[in-house]
Structure formats: structure tokens, C-alpha cells
Structure 1
Amino acid sequence: MKVVILNLSPRNNGLTASLLHVVEEELKKYKEVHVDFFNIGDYIIAPCLGCYSCYKTGKCHIDDDGESLSVLIGGADIIIFGSPTYASNITGQGKILIDRDILF
């Protein structure tokens, strides 16, 4: 089983990352589970432009880390993401992932 953990905080060593690392360590106790951990702060992902080119080609035309991250998480059986709440919502980086259809 492949599990991807995404830290949606811009802080790679903040509280959200610390909590997600606890989950990661617990999952790694199982031999049949492979865990990949990604910090969104390590990637440059531009917001969606609403051009719909992805509808025609199957991938976004924006040349950033979005497509490579999408491939990395694409084969996951389980995706776990954690985000601090800013203004009662997930981070802007997390919203960009959802808008760019990278998480799904």
C-alpha cells in the first residue's frame, strides 16, 4: 500500500509537519506500507489560470512543479494532508493544489 503525506504548511518544520511526521512514523511500522512525505514549501506551484487546456491535453500547461507532484502522488492508495488553518481555511498553497486538480 502506498501512502502519501502532504504537509500543506509553508513551514517545513512547523507544528503541522511535526504532527504529520508522527503519523508517518506510525505507518512505517507496517512492512506492507510505503510512505512518501512531501512538504508543499519545497515546490513552486502557480495558481490555475482557468484556461481549460488541461481538459484538452490531460495535463496542465503551466511549467512548474505541479505536474511532477501530481505524478508523485498519483499512484497513492491513501493521501493524508495536514494544513494549519489561516482565516478558518487551509493554506493558499493547499487551495492551489485543489484548484490545479493535483490532489485528485
Structure 2
Amino acid sequence: MIGLVPGIVASVASNVGVSALSGATKGAAASSVDGASFAQVLEQVTTDVVDKVKSSEAASIAGVQGKASVQQVVDEIMSAERALQTAIAVRDKAVGAYQEISRMAI
């Protein structure tokens, strides 16, 4: 079972599209092959998504206050949206893998 984890992470990364993953997520996926547990990879991905959303909220507030340009706000929001879509895709793949495993005959 432990040997499957790097394969699952690689499969999820290839199905989601590695180009859609943020730099931190790529690093997390690569470190999973180097020995990090699947739980650690998921924790890193969720932490990165939360950080992206927080930075986009801060940029939005700065934009409303006139301290950031519209382009900066849009860039931050689009980055957070991509990170969130990636996290949702990873979640969907993990749930699908769990359902497939649960249907297997023992």
C-alpha cells in the first residue's frame, strides 16, 4: 500500500496537469516521491491554497483602499482560483481512488 502513494500522487499530478499546479504544489508532489507521506503532501497543498486565498483577499482589500492596481488584484485572484481548482481536482481524484479501492474484492 505504501508503495502506491508515489504512484497515486504522480497519477493525480498527470491527470490534473502539472502545468496547472503552483510551484509549491509541484515541490510537494516531487517531495512525496522522495519519501513524504501522502498526508504530508495533502497538508502542504491545502496550506498553499489557503495562503493563496489569503493573499488574494489582502490584494482585494488593498485594491479597494487604492493601494494596489486592478491588474495586481486580478492576478492575485486568478492565482487563488487556479490553486483552488487544483485542490478541488486533487480532492476529486483522491475520493475517486478511495471509492475504487473500496469496491475491490478482498
Indicate the TM-score class for this superposition, using the shorter chain for normalisation: under 0.3
Higher RCO (Cα < 8 Å, 6 or more apart): 1
TM-score (norm 1): 0.26
User: Which structure is higher in helix share?
Assistant: 2
